[in-house]
Amino acid sequence: MITLHENSRIASVAVVTPPYGIEQAKAVAILNKYYSDKLSPRNLEVMQKVFAHPSIQRRYLAIENPEVLINEEPDARIARFTHWAVKLSKEAILNALNQAGLTVDAVSGLVVNTCTGYVCPGLSTYLIGELGLSREIRAYDLVGSGCGGAIPNLQICEDIVKQTGDCVVSVSVEICSATFQMGDNPSLIISNAIFSDGAAAVVLWNQTKGLELVASTSSYATEHRDAIRYIHKNGQLYNQLSLSLPSLAREAVAKVVKNLLKPMGLRVADIKHWALHPGGEKIINAVRDEVGLSEEQVHASRAVLAEYGNMSSPTVWFVLQKILNRGIAHRDWCIMVAFGAGLSAHAFLLRVDFANESSNYIHYQ
């Protein structure tokens, strides 16, 4: 099913990371120090190979030093998740509002999605208090969407804008390091090599300025739920990734892209810009080839993966911001695509319309 959208636009996009950055060589050295005697020779080889791959150069983690992750107690971990999720979200929101020329008083709706930690009440209530948002605000917390969560969040925000006509803020925040686990398991080794922490905030409004929300669609292949998900062991989250994920993601993305474009009378060739969630290099390559994209069209996804790793749900916003910063011409089409737990895939069709403006009026950080 495709949903057509009217009037609502993205006024601004802001992305943030925690200050601690770590190169892949240093990260693997730390894992070797603490876990080399716990891994099989085969998985030691896998770890060295994955961390040495040039597709990821650096990641940012919500820690003061890597030693924090070793034997971190569950209570300390959720406290760290809460602290950093709120801190990064707050920073991103303030940056996005400032770029749009707004203050917190203008916000009538807030939707926050995360999959890397659970608190009750949700993160939205922390942000209401920290930012001094209206106590009558429409606030929602989304969980369980994994890496694809930014687009369902955006869909809900767009509905609120249509109902209220006011400014709504969409926040995607993940502290993937709060789900760190290590063992003699390729899923955990790969997860520890690619995932990182970050947040993004997006301001939506119904003014004529901004990136137009045109249509969206989602698809769920629940028979593949176990291919990408968190599982619980001893009360803690463990990431589970299937070796078949690139082919599954390729099929899922191709399906939502087709479902999005066909009713609009558009073809892949009509879409110049692609904000593709960079789940990993193999996934980028698989989706590129299946959908029929050029290397230039996945350049932003590769660049974000190299600079930040996979931050789960906020990552697609980092990609879109990079595309926007390079410049989008009047009437250009852009598609955001994200996929994750479920197995789910989501796509949003966007368009730039500068018809009434003399310059690019979308604000970026």
The Cα angle at residue 360 between residues 349 and 335, in degrees rounded to 5: 15
Average pLDDT score, the chain: 92
CATH number of the domain that 309 lies in?
3.40.47.10
Q: What number of CA atoms fall less than 13 Å from residue 259's CA on the CB side? A: 20
Residue 364 within a domain: no
Residue 227, pLDDT score: 77
List the one residue out of 155, 342, 332, 352 whose CA is nearest residue 253: 342
The answer, yes or no, to whether residue 48 has pLDDT greater than 70, is yes
pLDDT digits (tens, 9 = 90+) for 147-199: 999 999 999 999 999 888 889 999 999 999 999 999 999 999 999 999 999 99
Contact 169/61 with Cβ under 8 angstroms? no
21 and 168 fall within a common domain: yes
Q: Mean per-residue pLDDT for 115-123?
A: 96
One domain for residues 65 and 92: yes
Task: Note the pTM of the prediction, 2 decimals.
Answer: 0.94
pLDDT band at 6 (very low <50, low <70, confident <90, very high): low
Task: Evaluate whether 3 touches 355 at the Cβ level (below 8 Å).
Answer: no
Q: How confident is the model at residue 358 (pLDDT cuts 50, 70, 90)?
A: very low
E strands, the chain, where?
A: 2-4, 9-16, 20-23, 58-61, 107-114, 138-143, 167-175, 197-205, 211-220, 228-233, 236-241, 273-276, 333-340, 344-352, 363-364
Domain count, the chain: 2
Place of tokens 């006509």: 165
Q: What would the pLDDT profile of 188-235 be if each residue is shown by its tens digit? A: 999 999 999 999 999 999 998 899 999 999 999 899 888 788 878 887
Q: Is the pLDDT of residue 364 over 90?
A: no
| Structure-block tokens of residue 259 | 């479902």
Q: Are residues 54 and 171 in the same domain?
A: yes
Per-residue pLDDT band for 354 (boundaries 50, 70, 90) equals low
4 occurs within a structural domain: no
Domain that holds residue 110: 9-205
pLDDT value, residue 357: 44
On the CB side of 352, CA atoms within 13 Å amount to: 22
Together in a domain, 197 and 284 = no
> Could you say which of 177, 205, 233 is where a domain stops?
205
